[in-house]
Amino acid sequence: MDFTPAAGDGNGRSRLLAFSPRDVLIVAILIFLAAIAGSMSRPSGFLAVFWPANALLAGVLVRERRLRTVPVLVGAALGYVAAALVMGDSLRMAALLTSGNLVGALTFTLLFGALEPDDQALTRPQGVISLVLMACAASAAAGVVGGLAMSELTGASYFEGWSGWFAAELVNYLALLPVILTLPALSRWWPLPRFKRAVLRSVVPPIAATVLAILVSLLVTHPVSIVFPVPALIWCALALPLSATAVLVMIYSGTAMIGMKLGLFDLGLGAELTGDSITVVHLGVGLVALGPMVIASVNAERRRRIEQLERLARHDSLTDALTRSTFMDEGTRLLSRLLEEQAAAAVLVLDADHFKEINDVHGHPSGDRVLVAVAAAIGTAIRQGDLFGRIGGEEFALVLPRVTRREAQAVAERMRKAVANLAVVLESGTLQRITVSIGVAFDAASSSGLAEMVSLADRAMYEAKRAGRDHVVVCDSDGSERPPTQ
């Protein structure tokens, strides 16, 4: 972790002390505003009903590794202290409260920040379980210091102060951290995505149901009303992206906490909320928030695995080109659309020259390296919308929609030159030059079927080989050929 540089590591110490004044200022302001917002949710006594500052700091430090420096932590501490002083706490109490807050946030960062990126993003169920366990550890560590502040402010025993701090810290971690950890990067927010009607029909009902359930829970004065939104949240976990579910869970948790402060929930705990009753409700809301997040994470993992399986079924595992069957299916559909438009199309077939000799002399692993390099070179020359597939051992094919004969030949030439410029490092460490022979079948009206176009391009490719390899031969759909080019 960045907080503890290795002994004798001067670079580690310099990284620990390095900072951007802008980053320090932003973190200080964020913590100050979050602490002020949390302080305003204090009921009678000390404990804040909703305290977002610690979860915000921990989440930012986990996501932004560059912020794990001493100056940034000092800025956060100043934000905490300033907020406490503004709310009327003494300097001594402000320092004590700040120490408890920092202990919790740093403990969580040290533990959770060491996990794999997928677990940190909560896209796997074990990530959510780790979040819960490490949030418990961070809350318990923060309570060691926070319990002192609680007992001094309220006159409660140290254990009561520790348990109250632990419960409050835990529910805030469980409510807020999933949002911070799963929120998409700002670069993905603009331009705003356009949702199709089918997508809107699938996401609007669960969101509306959740909002309605939260409103009903605030209006119905019954102890059970606080869990009214749970079925709707589970629906959201099954239907929405993980980040959207996290936001709705946060809204529910925050509303429950604020509603408890305002007396909107008749929880059967008496007219006056005590420290023990607040602790019980905090833990209850935290456990309720946990369920939908676990379901959402499991669903995200399921979707990811399904996408991986679909990709494996559609793409060649070695070169990432489309498999032969997928290429033929998608190419047939594409040519059908082009036929309706009376648009031109070209089909290219490429074959690596002398590839069998590479396999025989250097072995199949070296041959695989050559194929990967050839596929990557082809990928640099194709356009968006072109289909690219592997249809044989060392044979590739492409469908180029809406091209002229000259454009198709130019694309083929770019591919030939890109491959000819390759120097592939084989398993033995030697460099291998490689060339391809390319056949192009052009159809001005896309009236020929894909199988026929592939056959024409294949014949043109063999003409390129007979012409000396490392050539391009263009063949029209009527069978006429252009001279090979090099």
User: Is a pLDDT exceeding 90 seen at residue 51?
Assistant: no
- At residue 8, the pLDDT reads 46
Model confidence, pTM: 0.66
Q: Is residue 189 part of a domain?
A: no
User: What DSSP string runs through 14-74?
Assistant: HHHH---HHHHHHHHHHHHHHHHHHHTT--SSS--S---HHHHHHHHHHH-GGG-SHHHHH
Helix (H, G, I), strand (E, B) or coil at 273: coil
- 32-43 tens-digit pLDDT: 999 998 887 665
Residues paired with 278 in a beta bridge: none
Residue 409 sits in a domain whose CATH number is 3.30.70.270
User: Is a pLDDT exceeding 90 seen at residue 88?
Assistant: no
More confidently predicted of 47 and 408? 408
Determine the distance from the C-alpha atom of residue 81 to the mean position of all C-alpha atoms in its chain, rounded to a whole number: 34
Average the pLDDT over 305-317 and give the result. Answer: 86
Q: Is residue 483 part of a domain?
A: no
More confidently predicted of 17 and 1? 17
Least confident of 99-103, 118-122, 161-165, 183-187: 183-187
Helix (H, G, I), strand (E, B) or coil at 434: coil
User: Is a pLDDT exceeding 90 seen at residue 31?
Assistant: yes
Least confident of 31-45, 135-149, 316-330: 31-45
Residues paired with 424 in a beta bridge: 432
User: Is a pLDDT exceeding 50 seen at residue 1?
Assistant: no
> 117: Cβ–Cβ under 8 A, 6 or more apart, which residues?
none
Q: Is residue 485 part of a domain?
A: no
Determine the distance from the C-alpha atom of residue 53 to the mean position of all C-alpha atoms in its chain, rounded to a whole number: 24
User: Does 167 lie in the same domain as 84?
Assistant: yes
User: Does 271 lie in the same domain as 138?
Assistant: yes
CA angle, corner 348, sides to 362 and 372, nearest 5? 30
335 contacts 399 by C-beta, under 8 angstroms: yes
Q: How far is CA 395 from CA 70, 170, 305, 354, 375, in A?
A: 57, 58, 29, 12, 10
Beta-strand pair 395-401/431-433:
unpaired
Q: In this structure, what are the phi and psi dihedrals at residue 471, rounded to the nearest 5 degrees?
A: -130, 165
Q: How far is CA 36 from CA 83, 100, 307, in A?
A: 6, 16, 44
258: exposed, middle or buried (Cβ count in 10 Å: 0-12, 13-18, 19+): middle
**Encoded tokens for 428:** 């033995």
CA dihedral 106, 112, 116, 120 (to 10 degrees): -100
Q: Is residue 4 part of a domain?
A: no
More confidently predicted of 11 and 144? 144
Q: Is residue 423 part of a domain?
A: yes
Residue with tokens 């391809």: 436
User: Does 294 lie in the same domain as 339?
Assistant: no
- 239-279 tens-digit pLDDT: 888 888 999 988 888 788 777 766 676 655 554 555 556 66
Domain limits at 369? 324-476
- At residue 87, the pLDDT reads 86
User: Is a pLDDT exceeding 90 seen at residue 163?
Assistant: no
User: Is a pLDDT exceeding 70 seen at residue 188?
Assistant: no
Q: In this structure, what are the phi and psi dihedrals at residue 123, rounded to the nearest 5 degrees?
A: -85, 0
The amino acid that residue 20 corresponds to is: S
Residue with tokens 């905090």: 282
- Given 273, 289, 312, the domain boundary residue is 312
Q: What is the mean pLDDT of the chain?
A: 84
User: Does 292 lie in the same domain as 217?
Assistant: yes
- 423-476 tens-digit pLDDT: 898 888 888 999 999 999 999 888 888 999 999 999 999 999 999 999 999 988
Q: How far is CA 400 from CA 85, 372, 381, in A?
A: 68, 21, 12
> 22: Cβ–Cβ under 8 A, 6 or more apart, which residues?
none
- Given 312, 333, 356, the domain boundary residue is 312
User: Does 350 lie in the same domain as 285?
Assistant: no
| Alpha carbon distance 214, 453 (integer Å) | 60
- 194-236 tens-digit pLDDT: 656 666 777 889 999 999 998 988 888 777 787 889 899 999 9
Cis peptide before 21 (omega within 30 of 0): no
Among 129-143, 154-168, 240-254, top mean pLDDT goes to 129-143
CA angle, corner 121, sides to 116 and 125, nearest 5? 85
More confidently predicted of 308 and 335? 335
- Given 312, 339, 365, the domain boundary residue is 312
Q: Is residue 34 part of a domain?
A: yes
Domain count, the chain: 2
Average the pLDDT over 406-416 and give the result. Answer: 93
Q: Is residue 258 part of a domain?
A: yes
- At residue 198, the pLDDT reads 61
Least confident of 260-264, 284-288, 292-296: 260-264
User: Does 37 lie in the same domain as 142?
Assistant: yes
Q: Is residue 319 part of a domain?
A: no
Average the pLDDT over 139-153 and give the result. Answer: 87
User: Does 226 lie in the same domain as 249?
Assistant: yes
User: Does 109 lie in the same domain as 214?
Assistant: yes
User: Does 395 lie in the same domain as 463?
Assistant: yes
User: Does 351 lie in the same domain as 292?
Assistant: no
474 contacts 460 by C-beta, under 8 angstroms: yes
Count of H-run helices and E-run strands, the chain: 17, 7
Q: How confident is the model at residue 193 (pLDDT cuts 50, 70, 90)?
A: low
Among 87-91, 162-166, 258-262, 366-370, top mean pLDDT goes to 366-370
DSSP annotation of 385: T
Residue count of the chain: 486
| Alpha carbon distance 236, 107 (integer Å) | 31
Q: What is the CA radius of gyration of the chain?
A: 31
User: Does 363 lie in the same domain as 284?
Assistant: no
**Distance, first Cα to last Cα, the chain:** 55
- At residue 332, the pLDDT reads 94
In this prediction, what percent of the chain has a pLDDT beyond 90? 44
Average the pLDDT over 302-311 and give the result. Answer: 86
DSSP annotation of 192: P
User: Does 261 lie in the same domain as 140?
Assistant: yes
